[in-house]
Amino acid sequence: MSSERTERIGSPAELEEFRKGILSKRDPKKPCISLCSGSACHATGSGKVAARLEEEIEKQGLSDAVEVRKTGCHGFCERGPIMVIHPEEVCYLQITPGDVGEIFSQTIKNNEIVERLLYTDPATNKKIAHESDIPFYKKQKRLVFGANGSIDPKSIEDYLAIGGYSALAKALFQQSPEQVIEQVKASKLRGRGGAGFPTGVKWEFARKSVDDTKYVIVNADEGDPGAYMDRSVLEGNPFSVLEGLTIGAYAIGASEGYIYVRQEYPLAVENITRAIQKAEEHGLLGENILGSGFSFRVKVHRGAGAFVCGEETALIASLEGKPGEPRARPPYPAVKGLNGKPSNINNVETWATVPLIINNGPEYFASIGTERSAGTKIFSLVGKVNHTGLVEVPMGISLRDIIYEIGGGIPGGKKFKAVQTGGPSGGCITAENLDIKVDFDELPKVGAIMGSGGMIV
Amino acid sequence: MDDGKIDKILDKYPSDPSSLIQVLLEIQSDLRWLPKKALAKVSEKLKVPLNRIQHITTFYKAFSLVPKGRHQIHVCTGTACHVRGAKRVLEVVQNTTGLKPGLTDQDFKFTLETVNCVGCCALGPVMVIDGEYHGKMAPAKSEDVLKSYE
Ligand SMILES: Cc1cc2nc3c(=O)[nH]c(=O)nc-3n(C[C@H](O)[C@H](O)[C@H](O)COP(=O)(O)O)c2cc1C
Ligand code: SF4
Ligand code: FES
């Protein structure tokens, strides 16, 4: 699988050629077993399953016939470890090392399905074989999070194979920085870190602050208990965050970037650090990116544990090596941020959404969700609900749909009491408001907030 | 204390104050605490006054000025784990180890701490030992897990 390349990619044309090369070596009909290997999956024993899988392939001499891909989180963490066998997309749940032999003899060799590992629909008692037919996934719209289940976060080839870095090439060669900002504004993207500030407007402030050094920063502090979508995106699809960040740096005119990750997320630190290195090797980061003349460097900074560091001014203090204490604004970071220079901070999910907007155009993104809250949002649905995990839904979906259709209701058929959104500073929504539409403006009407996307039932 | 280790860590980062937290994090994970001698070295090399380093080490939770146990137990008491019974798990861990959160036993075997969220909320209650995640902890299961550590 490794088409090792040390030479930097020097132009958009070369990028497309390289992408073609990767795709031509891949046979879409060849069975590919993807196994989730995020932090949460390890708690369910996915490491042991992976080891067993590799052993079996070795034993049966199948290393050319079957591909194994260790991906990030598929979202359905409750039922992890999760295995999806492509191209048929057969989805097995809660696999143990003991199941591996059977999966090989039945599914890989004979194309037969191992019934007992499938999802059972509690309503009909029917088995469901395909991932996309499982109710947990069916009502979701996984634009940002979807790729997590099909790529190996360690592999830049995997990211390129699904169209990665085409947005960066488009921005650098077909759009001026101002045009990029116009697109992000027109998409109506609002920050996913909690406050919901329009991202394009924020970028414009930073663009207009004149200085020879400017910074862009990824906020991956994710301090709200019960929320872990940022971790899963960074772990499972680090290149999407990097691509978004690089586009933002170009738009704002920043030459340096920081990724601030809480140290409780060691796998996220590892994966994003590797992604930076690979992107540099391929000429997608560093000096003269894709031959465009634009240069941009990124460093990873680990947080040391303090809830308040997720707040942007505290985060900046922490990046400077000081205690992470918030300071009064203004001046805003867009004017005076890191080291006193103009800085733009966005949340992980916000950055990861940017390539999607550049690729598909702002109208596409704005057409999803509601009038004032565009696009999709990832929520972590946890607590006392049947299907806990990460769910990505269009804004404006009802809370009832999230908890009952996707989440499968409350365990033991009990009554729903309340859901807490927005972390400790958020609020609780009770049963009479279950039909509320989930977006930035509706939730506050019942005393809750969107927050960063934690939903604790 | 291993002077060589500290020098090696310091060499990896630019010698300026902005490296402070990253350097301290590495020393902490290598030695499991921040000995005074190490801090003096860091102060000299990064040109940060010792009293500022003291402030940093007490501000951030990740740092410890006393030695920690060989195995670090983190019981998540974040909201999602809480609603799924983290309290009972914590009780069992306390009884099994004889420790209260924040403490280390005399043999330096375990250090027990509570954390606010480790990002595995779907699998709550969660306990992390030396970076290894244990999910869906029932009280009896957590006792078994603890017993597997030497
Ligand atoms: C106490 C506090 C904690 C915060 N924690 C986070 C966090 O963990 N992650 C995050 O992205 N934003 C957090 N924020 C919001 C940030 O200050 C900032 O608004 C955000 O990173 C901007 O990104 P966005 O516009 O993409 O949402 C927090 C704010 C406050 C006041
Ligand atoms: S992340 Fe996990 S571990 Fe944390 S609160 Fe959430 S559930 Fe607990
Ligand atoms: S990490 Fe495996 S499903 Fe979430």
Q: Which positions ≥6 away from A96 have C-beta within 8 Å? A: A45, A48, A49
Taking the CA of residue B117 and the nearest CA in chain A, the distance in Å comes to: 5
Find, among B49, B73, B25, B44, the residue nearest to A303 by Cα: B25
A261, β-bridge pairs? A220, A302
Q: Give residue A264's pLDDT.
A: 86
Chain B contact for A43, CB < 8 A? Answer: yes
With residues binned 3-state (H G I as helix, E B as strand, rest as coil), the percentages for chain B, rounded to 5, are: 50, 15, 40
CB pairs under 8 A between A and B: 132
- What are the strands, taking DSSP E only, across A94-164? 119-120, 127-128
Q: Do B83 and A384 touch (CB under 8 A)?
A: yes
Residue A219 Cβ < 6 Å to ligand 1: yes
Angstrom CA distances, B68 to A174, A414, B6, stand at 55, 43, 18
Q: Which residue has the tokens 């403490």?
A: B103
* Chain B positions in Cβ-Cβ contact with residue A316 (cut-off 8 Å): none
A390, β-bridge pairs? A380
Q: Do B120 and A39 touch (CB under 8 A)?
A: yes
Radius of gyration of chain A (CA): 22
Average the pLDDT over each of A174-183, A187-196, A249-258 and give the range with the smallest value.
Answer: A187-196
Cβ-contact B115, B75 below 8 angstroms: yes
Pocket test for ligand 1, best of A345, A373, A425 (most atoms within 8 A of CB): A345
Tell me what percent of the residues of chain A surpass a pLDDT of 90: 67
With residues binned 3-state (H G I as helix, E B as strand, rest as coil), the percentages for chain A, rounded to 5, are: 45, 15, 40
pLDDT in tens, B52-101: 999 999 889 889 999 999 999 999 998 889 999 999 999 999 999 999 99
Q: Which positions ≥6 away from B7 have C-beta within 8 Å? A: B41
Residue A162 has pLDDT above 60, yes or no: yes
Nearest residue (by CA) to ligand 1, atom 18, is: A312
A269 CA → ligand 3 middle, Å: 17
Q: Is the peptide bond before B125 cis (omega within 30 degrees of 0)?
A: yes
Could you give the CA distance from residue A179 to residue A227 in angstroms, rounded to a whole number? 34
The partner residue sitting opposite B117, judged by closest CB among A77, A225, A266, is A225
Q: Dig out the tokens for B49 from the structure.
A: 């006054």
pLDDT in tens, A128-148: 999 889 999 998 999 999 888
Q: In what order do the strands lie in the sheet with A418-421?
A: A389-394, A376-382, A454-456, A418-421, A427-430
Residue A272 has pLDDT above 90, yes or no: yes
A106 CA → ligand 2 middle, Å: 37
Q: Do A322 and B56 touch (CB under 8 A)?
A: yes
A87 CA → ligand 1 middle, Å: 39
Could you give the CA distance from residue A154 to residue A168 in angstroms, rounded to a whole number? 20
Query: A364: pLDDT confidence band, cut at 50, 70 and 90?
Result: very high
Chain B contact for A388, CB < 8 A? Answer: yes
Q: Do A305 and B126 touch (CB under 8 A)?
A: no
Residue A324 Cβ < 6 Å to ligand 1: no
User: Global pTM?
Assistant: 0.91
B82 CA → ligand 2 middle, Å: 8
Query: A5: pLDDT confidence band, cut at 50, 70 and 90?
Result: low
Find, among A194, A162, A153, the residue nearest to A377 by Cα: A194
Please name the residue of chain B whose CA is at the shortest distance from the CA of residue A424: B79
Across residues A58-73, what is the average pLDDT?
87
Taking the CA of residue B11 and the nearest CA in chain A, the distance in Å comes to: 17
* Chain B positions in Cβ-Cβ contact with residue A319 (cut-off 8 Å): 18
Taking the CA of residue B150 and the nearest CA in chain A, the distance in Å comes to: 20
Taking the CA of residue B144 and the nearest CA in chain A, the distance in Å comes to: 15
Cβ-contact A427, A433 below 8 angstroms: no
Please name the residue of chain A whose CA is at the shortest distance from the CA of residue B74: A264
CA angle A178, A181, A187 (to 5 degrees): 145
Chain A contact for B62, CB < 8 A? Answer: yes
Distance of alpha carbon B28 from the chain centroid:
8
Residues A270-306: b if buried by 16+ CB within 10 A, e if exposed = bbbbebbebbbbbbbbbeebbbbebebebebbbbbbb
pLDDT in tens, A238-261: 999 999 999 999 999 999 999 999
Query: B1: pLDDT confidence band, cut at 50, 70 and 90?
Result: low
Could you give the CA distance from residue A160 to residue A145 in angstroms, rounded to a whole number? 16
Q: Do B133 and A225 touch (CB under 8 A)?
A: no
Taking the CA of residue B132 and the nearest CA in chain A, the distance in Å comes to: 7
Neighbours of A408 (CB within 10 A): 20
Query: A226: pLDDT confidence band, cut at 50, 70 and 90?
Result: confident
Find, among B23, B105, B8, B22, the residue nearest to B66 by Cα: B105
Asked if the interface predicted TM-score (ipTM) of this complex is over 0.95, the answer is no
Average the pLDDT over each of A187-196, A212-221, A320-329 and give the range with the smallest value.
Answer: A320-329
Could you give the CA distance from residue A431 to residue A117 in angstroms, rounded to a whole number? 34
Cβ-contact A199, A350 below 8 angstroms: yes
The β-bridge relationship of strands A376-382 and A119-120 is: unpaired
A222 CA → ligand 2 middle, Å: 12
Instruction: State the amino acid at position A274 in one-letter form.
Output: R
Q: Give residue A1's pLDDT.
A: 43
The whole-chain average pLDDT of chain A stands at: 91
Query: A235: pLDDT confidence band, cut at 50, 70 and 90?
Result: very high
Could you give the CA distance from residue A173 to residue A185 in angstroms, rounded to a whole number? 20
A84, β-bridge pairs? A34, A91
Could you give the CA distance from residue A262 to residue A268 in angstroms, rounded to a whole number? 9
pLDDT in tens, A292-308: 999 999 999 998 877 67
B116 CA → ligand 2 middle, Å: 7
The β-bridge relationship of strands B127-129 and B71-76 is: antiparallel
pLDDT in tens, A387-419: 999 999 999 999 999 999 999 999 988 899 999
Backbone angles phi, psi at A346, to 5 degrees: -135, 160
Residues B102-117: b if buried by 16+ CB within 10 A, e if exposed = ebbeeeeebbbbbbbb
Ligand number, closest to the Cα atom of A43: 3
Residue A197 Cβ < 6 Å to ligand 1: yes
Residues A142-171: b if buried by 16+ CB within 10 A, e if exposed = bbbbbbbbbbbbebbbbbbbbebbbbbbbb
First to last CA, chain A: 42
Locate the ligand 3 atom nearest the alpha carbon of residue A36 and give its number. 2
